[in-house]
Amino acid sequence: MKLTKPNLQHKLPPTEDSHGPLDSNSTTSHQSRVDFSRHQVFSQLDQLTSSETINKRIGIAVSGGSDSLGLLCLSAEWAKLNNWHLQALTIDHGMRPEAAQEAVYVQSICETLNIPHTTMNWRCPQDQRATQENARMARHLLFCEWAKRQNIQFLMLGHTLDDRLETLLIRESSNSSEYGLAAMPSQSCSPIWPEGRDLKLLRPANNLTRQDLSAILIETDISWVCDPSNQDDKYERVRIRKKLEAMPQQVKQKSIEKLKKLTLKRQKLVTDLTYFLKNHVVWRADGSVELRLSDLFKHPLDIQNKALERILICVSGSKQNVGLSRVISLLNALNVNTKSGKITHCLGKCWLIKTEDTLQIYAMPTKRATTKNSPQTTRSVIKSSQKICYMGRFDIRLSPQMPDSLVLSWDEAKALGYAAHLLSENKRARRSMPVLIPLNTQDTDKECLPAEAYTLQSLHSVRNNHLSDEIFL
């Protein structure tokens, strides 16, 4: 493990960043940077947590690098000042031999600051590649598990303005949309569904630079870890980071101004998208959706694309969005005037039924099994009084005194010969809805549990609200 704490003159060269020129040769300049950083983080946290007055518990993910450690020091001050209970989490991915030692170092810093600390380990499954993206998603899943266990709804991440600029340049090179270029809002939802439905990710340092956070550590005499992979040119982000570091300040400032404009555009798009999905889309209790195409096509293309993309992921319960190019192709097909009564499209594990000006969207049923005991990834067991999530689309709670039951789709139950009650008047909708079969029944008993034996809540509108929870400060 390599620790770094350069002297002030080396770490803070004369720069002119997003909050004005700083003369690092004077103590006053260093103190100005520290004061500015403290004000920025405190102000963002005050705004982002203002709605919570009861469960004042907040977490922070700390790797040991300068960004997360600098934010740890500032958030520890803020939490103490505002009577919040702060806890820290470190994820050891096992991808580098130094990772375990770095986690121990973070724990020692947390002990000094009197902050409870947890280390969670992740090891890449043998059937997966040990890529940074797999590690990222695994990290977020562990965030969700830990936050639920600790009753935490806010988790801070140490992303900075430098991270946002790097993402801007990376995504520009891959022709990302303007929405994608303005990444890393001050508050966003967890990318994990449904495990992360109650977790909000906060980035209170996303308008600060790495130098700002390093200044906090220099002031408090805390060293930080240098991850050798941050110098490895095989990673695109590392190459972009070095490009930014060598970039003249005037050129870099243009990128900062561009990012600000893109952020404003994204904020407006999110506001307009949220309004459309709330006021022009019918979210039915059976998990389906209905809207008028004329309402959709009145809006700009960006809204059309994001609206259909959002509806598809919410109705299907999928982990990821379908590709933008496929959404655009589907919108073009839907925009063609036809005289026929019904036209059916399939995309993102959904049926899309167009009837004149009406578009109805349903989740497609899962592949049918041949027997009750056939292995199915869509099947799960629910116990009395238990609540489970089915396919990311429905919450099911089994009533007390009801027997342990197998959960499977209505379509599959019918294929196996079970008498499944009508969960919806719409045949397409009910085919992918869950039904319950008591585990202790004989194969000759083909009765599903009655609808009164459990409660069923569709999650498509819940997930839509979850994905709309985005704030830029």
The binding site for ATP comprises: 63-68
Write the CA distances from 142 to 105, 126, 148, 195, 427, integer angstroms: 20, 18, 10, 10, 38
End-to-end Cα spacing for the chain: 35
**How far is it, in rounded angstroms, from Cα 208 to Cα 186?**
12
For 102, phi then psi, to 5°, come to -65, -40
- The CA-CA-CA angle for residues 388, 389, 390, to 5°, reads 115
- 446 CB-near residues (< 8 Å, 6+ apart): 416, 417, 418, 419
**Number of other residues whose CB lies within 10 A of the CB of residue 228:** 9
Give me the half-sphere count of Cα atoms (radius 13 Å) on the Cβ side of residue 421. 12
Tally the C-alpha atoms within 13 A of residue 466's C-alpha that lie toward its C-beta. 25
CB 455, CB 423: distance < 8 Å: no
Output Rg (C-alpha) for the chain, integer angstroms.
25
Distance of CA 299 to the CA centre of its chain: 26
What is the pairing mode between strands 57-61 and 20-22?
Answer: unpaired
The DSSP letter of residue 452 is G
Per the CB < 8 A criterion, the answer to whether 418 and 453 are in contact is: no
The residue whose two tokens read 């839907």 is 334
Q: Which residues are annotated as a binding site?
A: 63-68
37 token code pair: 């950083």
Q: Read out DSSP for 371-440?
A: STTS--TT-EEE-TT-EEEETTTEEEEEPTTPPPEEEEEHHHHHHTT-B---S-SSHHHHHTSEEEEETT
For the beta sheet containing 343-347, the strands, ordered from the edge strand earlier in sequence to the opposite edge, are 281-283, 289-292, 358-363, 350-355, 343-347
| 214: three-class secondary structure by DSSP | helix
Task: Report how far Cα 228 is from the mean position of its chain's Cα atoms.
Answer: 27
φ/ψ bin of 360: left (φ > 0), alpha (ψ from -120 to 50), beta (otherwise): beta
> Where are the alpha helices (H) located in 182-229, listed in sequence order?
210-220
